[in-house]
Amino acid sequence: MEGQIGRAIDILRNGGIVAFPTDTVYGLGAKASDEEAVIRVYEAKGRPRHLALPLLLSHISQIESFARDVPPVAWHLAERFLPGGLTMVLYKAPSVSGVVTGGGEKVALRVPHHPVPIALIQGLGAPITGTSANLTGSPSPLTAAEVHEQMGDRVDLVIDGGRCPGGLDSTVVDLTGEAPRILREGAIPRQEIEGILGVKPY
């Protein structure tokens, strides 16, 4: 596994894209600050360029580097559910490329609870994209074999870390409005999110 991770870091550093296991589903990563590599992720997935790509961080302390005006509720959720299956939508910091955010002012951030993406991010010294490693509209892959079936030679490397333990995409919560809004229920049930918020988000 160490050999695969070292090779993956070199590929990411040089503008390549890599599929890797996470605590939810297999992800498709590029160095977030490399716009050409990020475009390759869109092309590999067949994903429309106006749809933002989530970013994976290695620690919640990095949130303020990639998001601005972070509300207190974001820290409450992060302390409870990260690392883990929560993706938070926040206003992007100026350092985040508009290519990643689909030209918008919001960025989706997550800290995965899995050693492989953490090792990639730390080895690269930068966040990576964390979209699922599937063709747009197809099921999110849970094994390396499923990634190969869908993506073929569209990616430079698939790290085989076995079956993903979670099996569900992350839960996505938009924290940019007056009230938190759950955009996608996934690995973390709605009730757990609402329990931390103390109110029912709409």
The strand pair at 106-110 and 55-56 is best described as parallel
Find how far residue 153's CA is from the centre of its chain. 21
* CATH of 2-197 given 3.40.47.10, 3.90.870.10, 3.40.190.10, 3.40.50.920: 3.90.870.10
pLDDT single digits (tens) 38-88: 999 999 999 999 999 999 999 999 999 999 999 999 999 999 999 999 999
The 10s digit of each residue's pLDDT in 141-179 is: 999 999 999 998 999 999 999 999 988 999 999 999 988
pTM for the full predicted model:
0.94
Q: What is the pLDDT of residues 79-137, one digit of tens each?
A: 999 999 999 999 999 999 999 999 999 999 999 999 999 999 999 999 999 999 999 99
The order of strands in the sheet holding 131-132 is: 131-132, 27-29, 18-20, 157-158
